[in-house]
Each structure stands twice: as C-alpha cells, then as structure tokens.
C-alpha cells in the first residue's frame, strides 16, 4: 500500500491498515510536510566516508549534506525535511538521531539507513556508505 498526504490522513490510513493485519513492510508513506524538527539538543559530530576514509566535522548549525558538498561529496537532496527519502544513505556505524518521517520506526531502530538532510548523530561519529 502507498499513501501520500497530510500527517493526520496518513496516520489514520496506516493505523487502519495495521488493524487489518497489513505488514508494516508493505505500507509505504510520504508526508506532504514534516512537523518542525527540534534541534535544541543538537551537537557537532563527525562523519566518516567509507570509500575514502575522509572524516569531517558537522557543526551544530550545518546539515550533513552541506558539509559533504563543501568537501566535494554529493548526496541528492529534495525536501530537506525528511519526508521524501531522496537522500537516504546507508549507515555503516554509529547511532543516528533520526529526525525524518520517511523511514519507519523499525528502520530507525535498525540503524542501517539515515536521512542526512535532517538527521544528526547520537554518537560522536557516523560512518556513511559513500
């Protein structure tokens, strides 16, 4: 199932599907927009690029894609709110502070993907599969 719309609509459809025993992995959703993201607890952290070993610091006031672009790396980004999934990147190590609404709670728990447009790090370093 694919559902796209405002948060209350999507959440209602998803809850109905779950009540009807739909597998979460078969429910795909896209929100029109995300709620405001709380960046109050953000801190700087490091990102490591798997292919090169390069390590960069992501300051409190910058996103991962901004730091990557400043250093010659490119991740496609569209919404910059964590709703579209365009930027989702494989996470090889570290604990992400997931701030997107694109991925499911189960995907957040696995810590194998990150939406770098809006997400940060809970650990001091994230290793990205770039």
The DSSP letter of residue 121 is E
- Does 35-128 carry CATH code 3.10.20.30? yes
Number of Cβ within a 10 Å radius of residue 79: 20
Question: Largest alpha-carbon pair distance within the chain?
Answer: 48
pLDDT tens-place string over residues 108-125: 999 999 999 999 999 999
What per-residue confidence (pLDDT) applies to 34? Answer: 64
For the chain, give every domain's residue range.
Answer: 1-32, 35-128
Q: What distance in Å separates the CA atoms of residue 90 and residue 113, rounded to the nearest whole number?
A: 4
What per-residue confidence (pLDDT) applies to 128? Answer: 98
C-beta of residue 4 within 8 angstroms of C-beta of residue 30: yes
101 or 46, which is more confident?
Answer: 46
What per-residue confidence (pLDDT) applies to 43? Answer: 92
Average pLDDT, the chain: 90
Is pLDDT of 36 > 80?
A: no
pLDDT (average), residues 74-100: 93
The helix (H) or strand (E) run that includes residue 93 is strand 89-93
C-beta of residue 18 within 8 angstroms of C-beta of residue 24: yes
Q: Per-residue DSSP letters for 49-84? A: ETTT--EEEE-TTS-HHHHHHHTT-----SSSSSSS
What per-residue confidence (pLDDT) applies to 33? Answer: 67
């Amino acid at each position: 199932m694919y559902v796209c719309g405002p948060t209350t609509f999507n959440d209602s459809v998803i809850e109905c599907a779950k009540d009807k025993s739909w597998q979460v992995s078969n429910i795909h959703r896209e929100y029109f927009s995300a709620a405001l993201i709380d960046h109050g607890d953000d801190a700087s952290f490091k990102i490591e690029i798997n292919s090169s070993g390069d390590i960069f610091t992501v300051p409190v006031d910058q996103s991962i894609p901004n730091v990557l672009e400043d250093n010659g790396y490119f991740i496609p980004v569209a919404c910059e709110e964590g709703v579209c999934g365009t930027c989702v990147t494989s996470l090889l190590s570290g604990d992400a502070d997931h701030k997107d609404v694109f991925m499911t709670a189960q995907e957040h728990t696995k810590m194998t993907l990150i939406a770098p447009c809006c997400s940060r790090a809970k650990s001091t370093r994230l290793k990205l599969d770039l």
